[in-house]
């Protein structure tokens, strides 16, 4: 079945560092891909999404490009802030199926 694999955390960065969180997927169809963010004590929030190959999702300085050839949807940000400290979940959703979530990657940004 469809699945998502994301890099294990925790990831610790200094403020203004470059962030990459890797995500790869396995799917039989043509899924949409998502990144969700969970701040401490809160539910998950949609961060960005891409619905077809080569689409780039972006929000709040974060970007991810839907790469069909490498089955990847890596999350990037050029300069992280302390407020970006959270858990990030990669997810996919295929036609007729439910959302499949990765295990989550905890990011801590230190001042």
Partner 1 sequence: GAGVSQSPSNKVTEKGKDVELRCDPISGHTALYWYRQRLGQGLEFLIYFQGNSAPDKSGLPSDRFSAERTGESVSTLTIQRTQQEDSAVYLCASSLEGGMPNYGYTFGSGTRLTVV
DSSP state, residue 102: -
From 30, 61, 79, 83, residue interacting with partner 1 (rule: CB under 8 A): 30
Q: Which is nearer to partner 1, 63 or 94 (CB)?
A: 94
Should residue 104 be labelled a site residue for partner 1 when binding is judged by CB under 8 A?
Answer: yes
Nearest to 50 by CA among 20, 27, 16, 74: 74
Beta bridge partners of 20: 76
Should residue 99 be labelled a site residue for partner 1 when binding is judged by CB under 8 A?
Answer: yes
Nearest to 7 by CA among 21, 26, 19, 17: 21
Residue ranges binding partner 1 (CB under 8 A): 30-32, 34, 36, 41-46, 49, 51, 89, 93-99, 101-104, 106
């Amino acid at each position: 079945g469809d699945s998502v694999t994301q890099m294990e955390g925790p990831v610790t960065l200094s403020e203004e560092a470059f962030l990459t969180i890797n995500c790869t997927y396995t799917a039989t169809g043509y899924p949409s891909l998502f990144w969700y963010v969970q701040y401490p004590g809160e539910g998950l929030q949609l961060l960005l999404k891409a619905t077809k190959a080569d689409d780039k999702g972006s929000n709040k300085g974060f970007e991810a490009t839907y790469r069909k050839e490498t089955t990847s949807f890596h999350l990037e940000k050029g300069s992280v802030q302390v407020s970006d400290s959270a858990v990030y979940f990669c997810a996919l959703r295929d036609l007729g199926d439910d959302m499949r979530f990765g295990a989550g990657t905890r990011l801590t940004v230190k001042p």
